[in-house]
């Protein structure tokens, strides 16, 4: 008799209909989740991209630091947070890590500022950051010296001279 009840339940149209609706609901939720995930990925692609060996991330302003800093120390994030205050001098300083020479996959940088920013600010106010200096001790040490000297009231010329004498392999190179 149990066998007969199981056979009856298998052919019960109300249970079959419930099962189909349940399957459709799960399918709908699965498709919705995939579409949401793909949409989120495409939004990220607009703001984050890899160029050569660098990650470039665009934020709405200097007040919004790039998310790639979440993978680095608080000190590194603090340095990035101070770039805006020193853009004028950073654009006048050479970087001595080798980035100004470029590489097979990276364009040469034109200043220490380029080690932190690719583009600042656009007409819309957006900032494009680079992760180049997150892993470069020389870039960070140069910015630390800039910040320290600027906080002590040093002039731009004094800061540039200190960077050159500290980091340049030969004072005759510049």
> Quick one: pLDDT at residue 146?
98
Look at the alpha carbons of 71, 74, 79, 81 in this order and tell me if their dihedral is positive or negative. positive
State the pairing for strand pair 127-130/54-59.
antiparallel
Report the C-alpha gap between 49 and 42 in whole angstroms.
11
Report the C-alpha gap between 45 and 37 in whole angstroms.
12
Domain boundaries, the chain: 2-46, 52-173
**Residues ≥6 apart with Cβ < 8 Å to 99:** 106, 108, 109, 114, 115, 132, 136, 139
> Quick one: pLDDT at residue 63?
93
Picking from 15, 168, 137, 28, the residue whose alpha carbon sits closest to that of residue 115 is 137
> Quick one: pLDDT at residue 47?
92
Report the C-alpha gap between 126 and 122 in whole angstroms.
5
> Quick one: pLDDT at residue 43?
47
pLDDT in tens, the chain (174 residues): 555 555 555 555 556 666 666 665 555 445 444 444 444 444 455 799 999 999 999 999 999 999 999 999 999 999 999 999 999 999 999 999 999 999 999 999 999 999 999 987 888 889 999 999 999 999 999 999 999 999 999 999 999 999 999 999 865 544
List alpha helices for 48-151, DSSP H.
74-82, 87-90, 137-151
């Amino acid at each position: 008799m149990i066998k007969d009840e199981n056979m009856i339940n298998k052919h019960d149209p109300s249970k079959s209909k419930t099962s189909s609706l349940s399957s459709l609901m799960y399918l709908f939720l699965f498709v919705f989740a995939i579409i949401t995930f793909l949409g989120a990925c495409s939004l990220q692609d607009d703001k984050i991209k890899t160029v050569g060996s660098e990650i470039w991330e665009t934020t709405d302003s200097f007040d919004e630091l790039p998310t790639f800093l979440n993978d680095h120390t608080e000190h590194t994030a603090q340095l990035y947070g101070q770039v805006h205050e020193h853009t004028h001098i950073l654009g006048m300083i050479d970087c001595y890590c080798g980035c100004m020479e470029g590489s097979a996959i990276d364009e040469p940088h034109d200043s220490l500022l380029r080690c932190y920013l690719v583009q600042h600010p656009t007409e819309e106010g957006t900032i494009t950051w680079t992760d180049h200096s997150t892993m470069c001790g020389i870039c960070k040490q140069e910015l630390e010296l800039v910040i320290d000297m600027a906080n002590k009231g040093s002039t731009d010329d004094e800061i540039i001279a200190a960077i050159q004498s500290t980091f340049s392999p030969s004072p005759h190179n510049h």
